Each structure stands twice: as structure tokens, then as C-alpha cells.
């Protein structure tokens, strides 16, 4: 069966209430983080290439609907509405439900941290240079793209879409919404 690695999940395209994710694979046993199987394998290969010293930490992968409900509520209490709406998707609207999205940190990122530190570091530069060759895109880009995705720039959040889509999206400076729109037109 062909898996839908281009599945679009956002505020306007929530997952159905009966959604069940693809088979998952444990990527961080200590923290109990899972990703979709092929995503997990691609991430391992990418990290083996760009991060031999293991500076990069995975801070979030697959999240259940229930976990997203808790994350959203906690963020509303701690950070307020504006911040939460900018950075936290509502339940059923988070890519993390699919197991195809991963949050990364270069410092001691706590599990479930909303905004991990993944900027201004040589290993981050190396990761960004290689990610598209391993099927990953930066999902939430800055500036005018935030209006399209509905989520602010998240330098820590990466989405597996597979090859060659990842290369086309990254080379085009696109967000997934734009790429899917173009793919329909062509």
C-alpha cells in the first residue's frame, strides 16, 4: 500500500476523528519518542551523516490526540492565546499526529518543549543543507509563509515528505500548501 507522505494537516485540513497513524518506530527509547517507520529510518540516516557527535536531540515526534489536547491547554494557561495560536496546533490539526513530523533541539531540550533551540549552530547548518536529500523539509517558514501555513516560523519543526518532493519544495522555497496546490495544477 502506498503511504501518503504528502498528507496535508493544518487548521483547515484536520485529520478525521477515526484517524490512525502509520506503523510507528521508537526513535528515542529513553524519552519514549516514536516516528512513522520510514521517517524514523530517514532521520537516523540523516543524523548519522550530519551529527556524528550527537549534538542534536529529538524533543517531539508522534503525538496522540490526547497529548495535543494537553499541550494546547497547558500552553494556553502558561503562554496565553496569541502565543498558543502562533505555535501550537489544535488537536486533529497537528502534523505530529501522523508520525511524519519531528522537533529538534541542539541543547538539552525537554520533551514536549514548544519552541526548542535549533538555530545558529554549525550542526544545524549541516542539517539544513542535507535534510532535503533525506526526504525532510522545514515545514513552517518565516515571513509571508506564516499566513499560508497558519503557524509562525518554527526553525525546529521538520516534516518528512520523501524524495523527490523534499528537494523540489526546499529548492523552490515553498511550504507544503503551495507545493500541493502547484501539483494539482500541473
Beta carbons of 68 and 56 less than 8 angstroms apart: no
CA–CA separation, 74 and 29 (whole Å): 25
165 binds Zn ion (CB under 5 A): no
DSSP H or E segment with residue 28? strand 24-28
CA–CA separation, 23 and 100 (whole Å): 11
Candidate list 25, 157, 159, 165; residue touching Zn ion; CB under 5 A: 157
Contacts with Zn ion: how many residues (CB under 5 A)?
2
Q: Which is nearer to Zn ion, 88 or 132 (CB)?
A: 88
Over the window 96 to 135, marking each residue x when it contacts Zn ion by CB under 5 A and - when it does not, the resulting string is -------x--------------------------------
CB of residue 88 vs Zn ion: minimum separation in angstroms? 9
N-terminal to C-terminal alpha carbon distance within the chain: 25
Beta carbons of 61 and 104 less than 8 angstroms apart: no
Q: Which is nearer to Zn ion, 145 or 157 (CB)?
A: 157
CA–CA separation, 172 and 72 (whole Å): 32
CB of residue 91 vs Zn ion: minimum separation in angstroms? 14
Catalytic residue among 67, 154, 171, 178: 154
Interacting stretch for Zn ion, rule CB under 5 A, among 44-52, 71-79, 156-164, 174-182?
156-164
Give φ, ψ of 80 to 5 degrees: 90, 175
CA–CA separation, 48 and 97 (whole Å): 25
CB of residue 184 vs Zn ion: minimum separation in angstroms? 26
Catalytic residue check, 144 = no
Active site amino acids: 154
Residues near Zn ion (CB under 5 A): 103, 157
Amino acid at each position: 500500500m502506498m503511504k501518503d507522505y504528502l498528507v496535508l494537516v493544518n487548521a483547515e485540513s484536520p485529520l478525521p476523528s477515526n484517524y490512525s497513524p502509520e506503523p510507528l518506530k521508537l526513535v528515542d527509547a529513553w524519552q519514549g519518542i516514536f516516528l512513522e517507520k520510514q521517517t524514523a529510518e530517514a532521520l537516523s540516516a540523516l543524523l548519522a551523516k550530519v551529527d556524528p557527535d550527537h549534538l542534536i536531540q529529538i524533543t517531539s515526534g508522534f503525538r496522540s490526540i490526547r497529548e495535543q489536547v494537553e499541550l494546547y491547554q497547558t500552553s494556553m494557561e502558561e503562554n496565553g492565546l496569541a502565543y498558543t495560536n502562533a505555535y501550537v496546533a489544535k488537536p486533529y490539526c497537528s502534523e505530529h499526529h501522523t508520525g511524519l513530523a519531528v522537533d529538534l533541539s541542539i541543547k538539552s531540550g525537554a520533551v514536549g518543549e514548544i519552541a526548542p533551540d535549533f538555530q545558529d549552530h554549525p550542526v544545524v547548518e549541516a542539517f539544513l543543507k542535507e535534510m532535503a536529500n533525506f526526504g525532510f523539509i522545514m515545514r513552517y517558514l518565516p515571513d509571508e509563509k506564516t499566513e499560508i501555513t497558519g503557524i509562525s516560523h518554527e526553525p525546529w519543526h521538520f516534516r518528512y515528505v520523501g524524495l523527490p518532493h523534499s528537494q523540489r519544495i526546499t529548492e523552490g522555497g515553498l511550504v507544503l500548501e503551495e507545493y500541493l496546490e502547484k501539483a494539482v495544477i500541473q
